[in-house]
Amino acid sequence: MTSAANRPWVIGIDIGTSGARAVAMDADFNVVAAGSSKLADFSTDHRDPVIWWQAVQTALGQVLDVIDRKQVRAIAIDGTSGTMLPVSADGAPLAVPMMYNDPVEDADILARIKAHAPKESAAHGATSGLAKALLYQSVPGVFRIIHQADWLAGHFTGFYDVSDENNALKTGYDPVSRSWPDWIAATGARLDLLPDVLPAGSPIAGISDDAADAFGLADDVVIVAGTTDGCASFLATGADQPGDAVSALGTTLTVKMLSDRPLFAPDYGLYSHRIGDMWLAGGASNTGGVVLSAHFDNERITALSAEIDPATDTGLDYYPLVKDGERFPVNDPAMKPRMAPRPESDAKFLKAIFEGIAGVEALAYQRLVSLGSPALRSIRTVGGGAKNAVWTAIRSRKIAVPFLPVASEEAAAGTARLALIGAKSAGVL
């Protein structure tokens, strides 16, 4: 057993929509230090890549201040999916980055993608990475068009031409063939401007001398290919076997499951990220906390939950929505909410909503199985709804699999798990 004095660490870094987080993790998946920084502390312009790096430096510095920085073995970074920028060979941004939710408004670009991209590709849509790449390729002096996580990793390696299979998915990368497919060129995209792609968790390169000196790190630190923030959040929970699932009970209900085969169902907005020898597939419903908040505030939900017996059923068959339309597990833009009759008791009404959302969750996992996923093995839950014990009891009654605790809700912890994989692969851990 390695002693505490010289125990090796890896570091995962998450750059999100509002700030950066960093964690140090040991080989047993224990988070031993954490740091954070808000983008708003540096600027109100979240598109400025300079503040991304400032936030990362700050969060990382907080972690390194409380561990032996000379024992860091590997670093991996995740970023927001679909955030891109064109760069010069030395990494200098050549245009304002486009964030994950910034749409490309050029109708010709979108038409070319629609005409040539396979139906199951994640490159469709105005916010796709490929649409942004097509827009940026006319920028003078462009060396590569890369993703947010790629650019930040480049600050540690000095290389700005490498990405990972998860960030590249919405740019048209084919995770099955593990290549940039030929149809991309048919859209007019320049393949020479797209980054080289490595599997998430693969070593990219050793840390550069400049970065090692700047952070006081050893010169044998390995920089590891990262992932998207969404994939990192899943990995952070500890789910790691086919059939392991994570339900996010936030504003909407999102379900994700590890599969031993890729799942692509464009009619449901379903595609798969490749992580090691497994695939992460999932879908998003329009039900969720948004329905609860339309009727009750948090204090009222807490009070009413105390009146609910989760072991019994109301007999009400709700499909809770706040407006017409559903995406997954039912693809029907005209679907009507089903929330009648409303009982006189607010507690019974809340219970029926809990049951309804749990029913949608159960149907969502049944849909994944019908599309080729393995049998549901376990569920871990994140988001605000995870804190409601009554709702959890109702869900576990309707979905008869183990409900397991999450290891972490920090996306940076999921990225640290990739750093562990990369460190072991490189032989430094």
- With a cut of 90, say whether residue 1 has pLDDT above it: no
- Tens-digit pLDDT profile for residues 196-246: 999 999 999 999 999 999 999 999 999 999 999 999 999 999 999 999 999
Contacts of 133 (CB under 8 A, 6+ apart): 84, 145, 171, 189, 193, 194
The string of pLDDT tens digits covering residues 171-207 is 999 999 999 999 999 999 999 999 999 999 999 999 9
Q: Tokens in use for 341? A: 């009759």
Strand-strand pairing, 244-249 and 278-284: unpaired
What mean pLDDT value characterizes the chain?
96
The arithmetic mean of pLDDT across residues 323-350, rounded, is: 97
Nearest-5° Cα angle at 419, 418 to 420: 90
pLDDT digits (tens, 9 = 90+) for 103-127: 999 999 999 999 999 999 999 999 9
Q: What is the DSSP string of 388-426?
A: -HHHHHHHHHHS-S-EE--S-S-HHHHHHHHHHHHHHHH
Identical fold, 4-231+411-426 and 239-404 = yes
Write out pLDDT tens, residues 71-80: 999 999 999 9
| Per-residue pLDDT, 3 | 37
The H or E element that residue 237 is part of is none
Which of 2-6, 147-151, 183-187, 271-275 is predicted with the least confidence, judged by mean pLDDT? 2-6
Q: Please name which of 232, 246, 273 lies closest in space to residue 415, comparing C-alpha atoms.
A: 232
Q: Tell me if 429 sits within 8 A of 72, measured CB to CB.
A: no
Give residue 45's pLDDT.
Answer: 94
Q: Give the predicted TM-score (pTM) of the model.
A: 0.95
Quick check: 23 pLDDT over 90?
A: yes
7 pLDDT tier (thresholds 50, 70, 90): confident
Q: Residue 370: which pLDDT band, with cuts at 50, 70 and 90?
A: very high
What CATH number does the domain located at 4-231+411-426 have? 3.30.420.40
Q: Is 94 helix (H, G, I), strand (E, B) or coil?
A: coil
- 7, burial (CB in 10 Å: exposed 0-12, middle 13-18, buried 19+): middle
From 3.30.420.40, 3.30.43.10, 1.10.760.10, 3.10.20.30, which CATH number describes the 239-404 domain?
Answer: 3.30.420.40
Look at residue 2 and tell me whether its pLDDT is greater than 70: no
**Domain extent listing, the chain:** 4-231+411-426, 239-404
Q: Residues 235, 29, 237, CA angle at the centre, nearest 5°?
A: 30
Beta carbons of 286 and 268 less than 8 angstroms apart: no
Q: Are the C-beta atoms of 325 and 319 separated by less than 8 Å?
A: no
